[in-house]
Chains A and B, each alone.
Chain A
Amino acid sequence: MLSFIVALVLAAAVFFFAVGTLGILRFPDFYTRLHAAGKCDTLASMLALFAVALFTLQDWTFAELLVSLKILAIAGFVFIASPTACHAITRAALVLGVEPWERREGKK
């Protein structure tokens, strides 16, 4: 039962990683690519870490709980660091004057 849930969460993580990667390839400019890179990866890595933390808790011993907590601490760090980095890169690009892609009517 536990490994079934873990596999499900891992599959979701792989899906969002794949979408993030595809997004980097398909989006038209720097900023939109950053969306794909910064967001999907945050969710995907948190899902993956959560799955690993869950998988560690096979017997509910104290040692396993500590390992799980460490893994969850990594997830917490990603949760704070990822949007901060994303914001910093976006702002740096705007300050440097990287032109955002805009949709123009009648032109694709």
Chain B
Amino acid sequence: MARLITFVILFLFWIMLSGMFDAFHLSLGVLSCALVAWLSSDLLFAGGKLPSSPRSLIGLALYLPWLFWQIVVANVQVAAIVLHPRMLERINPQIIRFRTRLKTPFARVTFGQSITLTPGTITVNVDGDEFTVYALTDDSAGSLPGEMERRVAAALEGEKV
């Protein structure tokens, strides 16, 4: 099953990249996608297991627009710091550690990537449930884990906010 879904995804990608619909190119696509799906389906779905429900995908789709808006807001804040004449008084780099309540690896990765994407914070290390984050200012350090973790938990683990 995981192989079949891998094949479908790969083949859609093939069609998008090739844009040719004659028999020769389509059969080449079927052959190569089948080969890749057969060899490496366990890369896309770890261990060949499908996600238990499609809900995590829907949650991710709902989470991404919010994340993108956060990236824009945070970029404007960093731009303000960069352009500030006395910039060195505005920043206070520090390393903070906190524990997360996210359980699945996928949710933790999403959370870590989200932290790194929003300016002002970089995920340095994830060890079990402990996150090490490098923060640029006091504000960005104080905002973690905060709303972002709640959103990831709601989107990917179905927790009530």
Contact = CB atoms under 8 A, between A and B. Distances in A.
Interface of A: 15-16, 19, 22-23, 26-29, 31-32, 34-36, 38-40, 42-43, 63, 66, 69-70, 73, 79-80, 82-84, 86-87, 90-91, 94, 100-103, 108
Given A23-B82, A32-B93, 12 more contacts: A19-B75, A31-B93, A35-B120, A35-B122, A36-B78, A40-B119, A63-B19, A66-B16, A80-B113, A83-B113, A91-B125, A103-B93
Contacts of A102: 93-94
Contact of A32 (B79, B118, B136): B136
Interface of B: 13, 16-17, 19, 71-72, 74-75, 78-79, 82-83, 87-89, 91-95, 112-113, 116-120, 122-125, 134, 136
Contacts of A79: 117
> Lowest 3 A-B CB distances belong to which pairs?
A83-B116, A39-B119, A23-B82
B19 A26 contact: no
A63 B21 CA distance: 12
Contacts of A40: 75, 78-79, 119
B157 to A, nearest CB: 21
Tell me if B's interface is mostly helix, strand, loop or mixed: helix
B91 A38 contact: no
Say what secondary structure dominates the interface of chain A: helix
Contact of A86 (B17, B116, B125): B116
B152 to A, nearest CB: 14
B139 to A, nearest CB: 14
Contact of B74 (A39, A69, A87): A39
Contacts of B136: 32, 35
Nearest to A25: B82
Contacts of B75: 16, 19, 39-40, 43
A91 B78 CA distance: 21
